Amino acid sequence: MTASTNQQPGIDPRTAILEGRTSLGIEFGSTRIKACLVGEDPTVVLAVGSHEWENRFVDRVWTYSLEDVWSGLQAAYADLVADVRRRYDVAPQTFGAIGVSAMMHGYLAFDADDELLVPFRTWRNTSTGVAAAELSERFGLNIPLRWSIAHLYQAVLDEEPHVPRLDFVTTLAGYVHWRLTGRKAIGVGDASGMFPIDAATHDYDARLLEVFGGLVADRAPGLRIAELLPEVLPAGRQAGELTAEGAALLDPSGTLRPGAPLCPPEGDAGTGMVATCSVAPRTGNVSAGTSIFAMVVLERPLEHAHHELDLVTTPAGDPVAMVHCNNGASELAAWAGLFGQFAAAAGTPIDSDAVFEALFREALHGEADAGGLLAYNYLAGEPITGLAEGRPLIVRTPESRLTLANFMRAQLYGVYGTLALGMRVLAGEGVALDRMFAHGGIFRTAGVAQRFLAGALDAPVAVGETASEGGAWGIAVLASYLSASSETDLGSYLSDRVFASAGFETVHPVPEDVAGFAAFLDRYRAGLAAEAAAVEAL
């Protein structure tokens, strides 16, 4: 199985750690910062660490402070070091390679003195509608609200005072990488969430850079977009080394030495693709967390632009259609927390994992269409359905069958509702899938969320052992690929070396689930008017 925590015979993990024959992956997720250490064989996880954090809604902007970025990174790294000490009675002083990953898109803007000009605007913000619409029209392809270029252009349109002082714009992964290495570089997959990528050059689209320059020439004289964006690098290219300042940022104790090479920083979409071995055409993956998104590697260009579909790339630069939904499993987790509180109030407290297990298992007994119930997980705005803000809802008619089983099935279906709308657009383009891979904490309860996703997509869904911790492991794999990139391409490296003996549990769609979810989705689409009314009224 991939990502086993059991070291293979003949390999001494203690020696590997002491000699730096390891790869460290760090991923900034929406709610957790994770660290993952792998051996020379990247399928072998030596240690892990994590730190919980949460975004803030300040002045109607979803953000994280830079102080939280660094304190969280240091806490996650310290947790990993503590795990290494517990397991092997040593502490790492260097690594064979390091990789940084984070939530894609968003807007981190700096001046020439490297000072942050405005609070970090994350992917979750939906205030860029005017800019995204105009860019989509002028570029002839969909520019999502959360893309860095949409945030930048909206700032220009709004005549924000920081625009004349702009010197560098990047993503969260690009920012952390820059501070660790001193190099303003970014992986091509993460870059494709900043500005459109040319499939031939695997770099920013030169023609569209000129188009954008013309759009801002009068409003922001002197703004040179190509000079603001980070350097684009494909997987396998070294993207700098850990500096002394970077080592101190990562490990304030002073134990960590500088000099380790870093791979190009990537977005969580790219690391999800790596962690599920879905970088080849006709493969795809679904990542479920605070947001939920699907990535499908394309065999050919799409015939039309669709606002539901983003065109991004794999970490190697191959074209991908992405269905990105701002709202994932957070509302489901909130309901699980409520049921956990009820259990405690009733005198039978149970831990959160047991709560999820019980509720998910109960959902299997629900009616195929969730008994006529509707659940909207919209804590934030949802661009695919045209909503600038969100209001979580549970809706039923007098004829609906309100049972715990139906309620939980509706909540799980609701996680997939917007995703399914986008995937149906992709199917209309004739895009075929052999198999979807899935990862994220929602899939930890075996056979439930996975089965319902297969029904929602009407396609086989595979889940591997990395399902709940895939991103940090995925960027660790990309870091380990640095030493093999001169010998093989990324796809072959994953299929032949990393996943050659991997085990996946594949679930095929159940016809009753397919029909039931289709009925649910019809109601879901019709009920969006109620969701919109709730946003307007509340």
Tens of pLDDT along 391-405? 999 999 999 999 999
For residues 525 and 376, membership in a common domain is answered with yes
Q: Are 323 and 423 within 8 A, CB to CB?
A: yes
Report the candidate in 476, 394, 490 with the shortest Cα–Cα distance to residue 40.
Answer: 476
Across 178-309, the runs of DSSP E, i.e. the strands, are: 185-187, 197-198, 203-204, 231-233, 266-267, 283-288, 292-297
pLDDT at 423: 96
For residues 515 and 367, membership in a common domain is answered with yes
Q: Could you give the residue ranges of the DSSP H alpha helices within 108-222?
A: 129-139, 148-157, 172-181, 188-191, 206-216
440-455: average pLDDT: 91
Tell me the CB-side half-sphere exposure of residue 109, using CA atoms within 13 A. 23
What band does 286 get if pLDDT is binned at 50, 70 and 90? Answer: very high
Of 206, 228, 250, the one marking the end of a domain is 228
Distance from C-alpha of 279 to C-alpha of 496, rounded to nearest angstrom? 13
- Percent of the chain whose predicted confidence (pLDDT) is above 70: 97
What band does 469 get if pLDDT is binned at 50, 70 and 90? Answer: low
473-480: average pLDDT: 96
For residues 223 and 349, membership in a common domain is answered with no
Distance from C-alpha of 513 to C-alpha of 71, rounded to nearest angstrom? 44
467-484: average pLDDT: 87
DSSP state of 354: H
For residues 385 and 517, membership in a common domain is answered with yes
Whole-number average pLDDT of the chain: 93
pLDDT at 471: 86
Of 228, 249, 273, the one marking the end of a domain is 228
DSSP state of 165: G
Report the candidate in 232, 106, 108 with the shortest Cα–Cα distance to residue 166.
Answer: 108
**What sign for the dihedral angle of Cα 324, 330, 333, 335?**
negative
Identify whether 62 is part of a domain.
no
Tell me the CB-side half-sphere exposure of residue 93, using CA atoms within 13 A. 6
Report the candidate in 359, 231, 275 with the shortest Cα–Cα distance to residue 101.
Answer: 275
Q: Are 239 and 263 within 8 A, CB to CB?
A: yes
φ, ψ of residue 50 to 5 degrees: the values are -160, 165
Distance from C-alpha of 348 to C-alpha of 350, rounded to nearest angstrom? 6
Distance from C-alpha of 130 to C-alpha of 127, rounded to nearest angstrom? 8
What band does 4 get if pLDDT is binned at 50, 70 and 90? Answer: very low
50-64: average pLDDT: 92
Distance from C-alpha of 262 to C-alpha of 100, rounded to nearest angstrom? 8
For residues 385 and 531, membership in a common domain is answered with yes
Query: Is residue 535 predicted with pLDDT exceeding 60?
Result: yes
Name the β-bridge partners of 191: none
pLDDT at 294: 93
DSSP state of 40: S
Structural domain count, the chain: 2
80-108: average pLDDT: 97
For residues 373 and 521, membership in a common domain is answered with yes
pLDDT at 457: 94
Identify whether 23 is part of a domain.
no
Distance from C-alpha of 414 to C-alpha of 377, rounded to nearest angstrom? 6
Identify whether 207 is part of a domain.
yes
Distance from C-alpha of 180 to C-alpha of 246, rounded to nearest angstrom? 4
Placement of tokens 């093999």 in the chain: 484
Q: Which helix (H) or strand (E) holds 526?
A: helix 511-537
What band does 467 get if pLDDT is binned at 50, 70 and 90? Answer: very low
Angle at 376 between CA 372 and CA 381, to 5 degrees: 155
pLDDT at 465: 65
For residues 405 and 516, membership in a common domain is answered with yes
pLDDT at 504: 83
312-329: average pLDDT: 94
Identify whether 325 is part of a domain.
no
Give 508's contacts (C-beta < 8 A, 6+ positions apart). Answer: 454, 460
CATH number at residue 120: 3.30.420.40
Distance from C-alpha of 194 to C-alpha of 99, rounded to nearest angstrom? 19
Please give the single-letter amino acid code of residue 146.
Answer: R
The widest CA-to-CA distance across the chain, in whole angstroms, is 67
What pTM was computed for the model?
0.84
Distance from C-alpha of 315 to C-alpha of 475, rounded to nearest angstrom? 10
**What sign for the dihedral angle of Cα 210, 212, 218, 224?**
negative
pLDDT at 206: 97
Distance from C-alpha of 115 to C-alpha of 123, rounded to nearest angstrom? 21
435-444: average pLDDT: 86
Structure tokens at 203: 């770099």
For residues 341 and 205, membership in a common domain is answered with no
For residues 213 and 353, membership in a common domain is answered with no
Q: What is the 3-state secondary structure (H, E, C) of 61-127?
A: EEECCHHHHHHHHHHHHHHHHHHHHHHHCCCCCCCCEEEEEECCCCEEEECCCCCECCCCECCCCCC
Distance from C-alpha of 315 to C-alpha of 25, rounded to nearest angstrom? 15
Which residue range forms the structural domain that includes residue 164? 105-170+195-228
Of 180, 203, 228, the one marking the end of a domain is 228
142-168: average pLDDT: 97
For residues 216 and 356, membership in a common domain is answered with no
Per-residue pLDDT of 244-280, as tens digits, reads 999 999 999 999 999 999 999 999 989 989 988 889 8
pLDDT at 283: 87
Distance from C-alpha of 458 to C-alpha of 460, rounded to nearest angstrom? 7
298-321: average pLDDT: 92
For residues 401 and 523, membership in a common domain is answered with yes
DSSP state of 219: T
Q: Which helix (H) or strand (E) holds 359?
A: helix 352-363
220-240: average pLDDT: 97
Identify whether 503 is part of a domain.
no
Identify whether 59 is part of a domain.
no
- Distance spanning both ends of the chain, measured CA to CA: 48
Q: What is the 3-state secondary structure (H, E, C) of 417-457?
A: HHHHHHHHHHHHCCCCCCEEEEECHHHCCCCCHHHHHHHHH
Higher pLDDT, 439 or 449: 449
Structure tokens at 421: 């709308």
431-454: average pLDDT: 89
What band does 228 get if pLDDT is binned at 50, 70 and 90? Answer: very high
DSSP states of 462-478: EEETTTTTHHHHHHHHH
Identify whether 476 is part of a domain.
no
- The angle that helices 404-428 and 449-457 make with each other, rounded to 10 degrees, is 40
pLDDT at 3: 44
What band does 9 get if pLDDT is binned at 50, 70 and 90? Answer: very low
Name the β-bridge partners of 33: 28, 51
Identify whether 289 is part of a domain.
no
For residues 522 and 400, membership in a common domain is answered with yes
